[in-house]
Each structure stands twice: as structure tokens, then as C-alpha cells.
Structure 1
């Protein structure tokens, strides 16, 4: 059977469709029916999936283009959509035309390198185009863009350990949730779950801010220091890590829980699960859990919790496992 060869017009139509789906799937009002239609379109031909992945890269780059005033003044009430449409159009043009791309690079608008990495069931080590090494935990995703004035990483989910190549004139910026970590060359770990972020510094120094919109470069961490923040925090919480800190045990395939209350342990557990575990009440949240677990067998940990803790499992209306504390029996009189 002869494979169909796309004409130029057909190829352009696929690219247009990929751009349409990229914008619709990122829209707040995107419906379940539209998502299903997209999946059918994507799976209809390998070229559809290829073009959509390429459009996602352009989408990421478009978000960093300088925002024109016309995006908010010409179409009031539609600034987000109109700006993203403008950004995609500008990025497509700039990436397609060598002169435009060269101008965008010199102005610091467009990167000269873009990389996207994602892990599912295995830890993965990757090399960025600047020579920096990154180790990704299970279920992690990040992008790297190399601009004229800085190197920029966005950790979209999960956890990553960075060994950054030294370059004083070309700082390395990691964005996680609303925060920012700024370095020139060092080793550090960034953990992201929902809106919670934890940064552990191993070597060198980093500047951490909990809100990328704030002025200044943030608070400085030295070796064996940790910063924590979540959505809405004005400043990160800074603390020292002890000698046997286990936050990097994932690099050896382990999750170490050091007698933590479930309120602190569950975010570390849930990042490995498709359906996060909930607690029924504050009493359950205060129950403590310890032990060393294989990060590939966290599902087994959840089902075995009733065997090691005074809890039982139920499920809520969304199908999430819920831990409930077993009431203590009153002493017999």
C-alpha cells in the first residue's frame, strides 16, 4: 500500500489545524467535546501529532514575546486570546524566516535553542544545549530555551536535579509555579507539586523568589539550605537541611518519609499517583508516617497504609482514595 504524500496545501491545512487546536486546548472555555474531537484529529495521522507537538513548542516561545499595547487596546475583553494569537503568528514567522529569527535573537525575544523533556515511568538524565545536566524524576516535564541574555527553564510538573554549566554573563533561570530560581553555575534540586515548590541547594548559590512578578532577585541560598513556597506567599521560607537529608533519595529510586504527618507526607506521595490521596479530616492529617519506599511502587504503599496506620480507605465522588482515621474506642468502665 502506497503511503499518502501530502501536498503543500494539505500540509499547510494540517499546520493551521494544529495551531487552532493548540489555542482551543489552552482556552478556559474549551469543552470536553472539543478535547475529544482533538484526540480524534491527532490520532488520525502521525503528521497531525507531529505538527501539534511542534505547535506546542511555538506556544511556549510565544508566551515570552514582548506584549504589544494593541493586544489589549484593540480587542478589549479578549486580550489573552488575541495576544496569544499574535504571539503564535509572530513566533511562526520569526522561526520560519532566518532574518526575523536573527533579529529576534539579538533583541532577546526569541531563543536560538528550544528543548522539551518529559518522563513517565523512569528517571531520565538529559543534557541541555548549553551543556548543563538535568536529571528528571518520574512524571516530570520541563522546557529549556536559550536566549541571548539568559538561559530559561520552565519546570511544568514534577522534580528535577540541575548541574548547571557556569556562565556569569548568561544566568540560568528556573521558573516553577509563580516562583523563580536564578543561578550562574551550581547544583540544586527543584520539586513542584500543584502550587508547592521546594528548592534544595547542594553546591554554589541561588537566588529564590516566590513570585516572579516581584522586583529584585529574591533571597540567597547557600549550600545545605532549602527554600519552600506556595501560591500567594510573599517570601519563601528558608531553612537549613540536616546531614542525612533524604530529599534527593528519588535519584536512587527511593522515597524516604522521616516520621512525617500525613499532611506533609501526602504531597510527596501524591506526585507519583494519577489519583492523589486525600485525608478525611485534621485528625487523620496529623497521623505520622515513616519508611523507605520504591518510587515505582507507590500505588502499593497507598493500598498498604491501613496495614501500618490506624486508618481505613474510602473513595470520594471523584474516585480519589480518602484516608479516614479509625476512632479510638472509649475505655470500658
Structure 2
């Protein structure tokens, strides 16, 4: 004897059908499958209509999630289905439990050398640096951003009821309405604040959050929490020049500058003579012009540049070799 389908199974199946219909017109074969499923048990029509109603209640959540804003209308299977009633709230709760996390989360990524500006659903804006991944979830009580790797600058829309929290490994950065950047580094994350105030801490360390104000920077270790913030107002504009596709050097070592350029390019600068790495440089360069930078740097200290495939080799010249 075949076991009778439970009400919970019917509701779950109805929810899946509503989602499939909502994504676009069903092929003929799937339409026939849906009609056959509906005809197979008198309880299914009511479940289908309740699922449609619950899905409609989630339209606002779909917009917040940044997904398609013009979904294909779900066709009622029959006139009889329009008369089915009751259980709308239960169906909505069921569908919400299954699908709201997906609807409210959006994932963004950049390739090497790519820089993106992304408007977020709450009115905030994120500038995403090279080789970075972000996941954004707009929840009722909190706006959550996970920075898996890379760097991003956030201009946060004010919403006192929903703090904006960036998770970068164990490091947490919390703000309400402000502007700041987070860069994931080995063993921790660096935070620069350009506007307002943020709180920075590391989960599991037992350390109290550090307040970091506009014009300050702080490094938060994964294992030891946030250090004492230090003034950085003169450095912040230069260090965030990547938002405009620029690298600005003001006395940085050639080795560190080369590493920075290598973040943005498949063609890598290779310092053949390591004694050159400590040479200090000043200048303004485009992030996507590593060879121009290498030649300008080499000229400043008498070195020479050789390009071999994707390697830009920098060696000591005659003057330095003597």
C-alpha cells in the first residue's frame, strides 16, 4: 500500500514549483508535470496557491537582495485554485525559511586588476579592489559583509537600527553611518577610517572593541585583537588612491611598491638584484602600467629593465654594480 503524502511534503513541493514558475515560463514537459502533480491530490491546489501568496509577500526581500526585479508572473493552474484559502502566513513562513537567506545575500568579486564600484541594497556603496571577494547580506537587524580576501572601501548609509558589520576572518568592523576600508592581510586585517567612527575587534580574543575615528588606521590581528589606532590622515588619501586606479608613492621602498603593482597585474615585477628593493621612490602611477613604473623606477636609481614573457625583470645597472 502506497504511503499517503504528508501535508508538509505537499507544502514543500508546492513551494519548489512556485519558485520554478517564477524563474520563467515552464517548458511544455514541465507544465504537464505540474498539471499532473496538481491533479494527483486535491490538497495540492490549495498548497500551490498558498505558496504563490507567500512568495508574493517576499517580493520586497527580492528587491533588497539585488536580484531580478521583473520576475515572470506565476500562472494560476486553474480557476478553482483561486478559491483555495487559509494558511497564507504559514506558507509564507515556510518559503521564507527556505529562500530568504539566498534572496538577501549577494556575492561580488573582482579579477586581478579589476576595480568595481557597487551600490548596495541599503543605499551604501562599496568600492572593491583587485582580486577581492565580498558577500553582502541585508538582514532585519544587521547588515553583514564578509570579506574573504582582498580589500574594499565602504560608504555606509545611516541606519541606527541596523549596524553595518564587516567580517574579515575573525576580525570585525562595526559602523552605522560612516566610510572606511578593510584590507585582508596575513594574520589579520587593516582598517582605515575616512569618515565617522567604527569599532574594531577580533572574535575569540576577549579584547574589547577599539574605537577608530576619521583619519586613523588600525591593524587587527586574528589572534590578539586590534592594536591602538594611529593617526593616518595624510596617508589615507594616498593609500586609497586605488579607487581611481592609481598608486601614489611618497618614499616607499621599491620592493614594497613592486608587490603592490603585482596585486593588479598578471605581468609581475621581479627584482633580480635584491639590493634594489630598499631604493626609495616618489611618484604617481596607473595600477595597470607595471612596465612603465618599473622603467621609471629603474631610471631613478640607474637600473635596467628586461621583459621576458609575463616577467618584468629589474636589475642593477653599471653605476649601481660598481
TM-score category (smaller protein): 0.5 to 0.7
Whether 1:212 and 2:203 are equivalent positions in the alignment is: yes
1:99 offset after TM fit, Å?
A: 3.2
Whole-Å Cα distance in 2 between the matches of residues 98 and 119 of structure 1?
Answer: 35
1:311 offset after TM fit, Å?
A: 4.5
| Structure 1 residue corresponding to 2:229, chosen from 227, 230, 238 | 238
Contact 2:267 2:290 in 1 (8 A): no
1:178 offset after TM fit, Å?
A: 4.0
Alignment of 1:154-233 (within 5 A): 154-192=146-184, 197-209=189-201, 211-215=202-206, 218-229=209-220
Aligned residue for 1:214, secondary structure, equals coil
Whole-Å Cα distance in 1 between the matches of residues 98 and 140 of structure 2?
Answer: 10
**Where does residue 257 of structure 2 map in the other structure?**
265
Distance 1:301 1:195, change over 3 A: farther
1:166 offset after TM fit, Å?
A: 1.6
* 1:32-70 CA distance string (max 9 Å, x none): xxxxxxxxxxxxxxxxxxxxxxxxx9xxxxxxxxxxxxx
Aligned residue for 1:257, secondary structure, equals strand
Whether 1:151 and 2:143 are equivalent positions in the alignment is: yes
Distance 1:222 1:144, change over 3 A: same
Whole-Å Cα distance in 2 between the matches of residues 216 and 277 of structure 1?
Answer: 40
Whole-Å Cα distance in 2 between the matches of residues 235 and 296 of structure 1?
Answer: 33
| Structure 1 residue corresponding to 2:242, chosen from 250, 260, 272 | 250
Contact 1:186 1:204 in 2 (8 A): yes
| Structure 1 residue corresponding to 2:93, chosen from 96, 99, 103 | 99
Contact 1:193 1:267 in 2 (8 A): no
| Structure 1 residue corresponding to 2:288, chosen from 277, 292, 296 | 296
1:280 offset after TM fit, Å?
A: 5.9
| Structure 2 residue corresponding to 1:119, chosen from 110, 117, 125 | 110
1:128 offset after TM fit, Å?
A: 1.2
Whole-Å Cα distance in 1 between the matches of residues 312 and 224 of structure 2?
Answer: 29
Whole-Å Cα distance in 2 between the matches of residues 163 and 310 of structure 1?
Answer: 43
Contact 1:145 1:153 in 2 (8 A): yes
Q: Extract unaligned runs of 5+ from structure 2.
A: 1-26, 31-64, 66-90
Structure with higher RCO (Cα < 8 A, 6+ apart): 2
Contact 1:113 1:129 in 2 (8 A): no
| Structure 1 residue corresponding to 2:134, chosen from 142, 145, 165 | 142
Distance 1:241 1:329, change over 3 A: same
Alignment of 1:76-87 (within 5 A): none
* 1:172-215 CA distance string (max 9 Å, x none): 11123442211111111223456563321111111123x33333
Distance 1:101 1:169, change over 3 A: farther
1:227 offset after TM fit, Å?
A: 1.4
Distance 1:99 1:220, change over 3 A: same
Which segment is superposed worse, 275-284 or 219-228? 275-284
Distance 1:282 1:173, change over 3 A: farther
1:164 offset after TM fit, Å?
A: 0.8
Q: Extract unaligned runs of 5+ from structure 1.
A: 9-56, 58-96
TM-score using structure 2 length: 0.58
TM-score using structure 1 length: 0.57
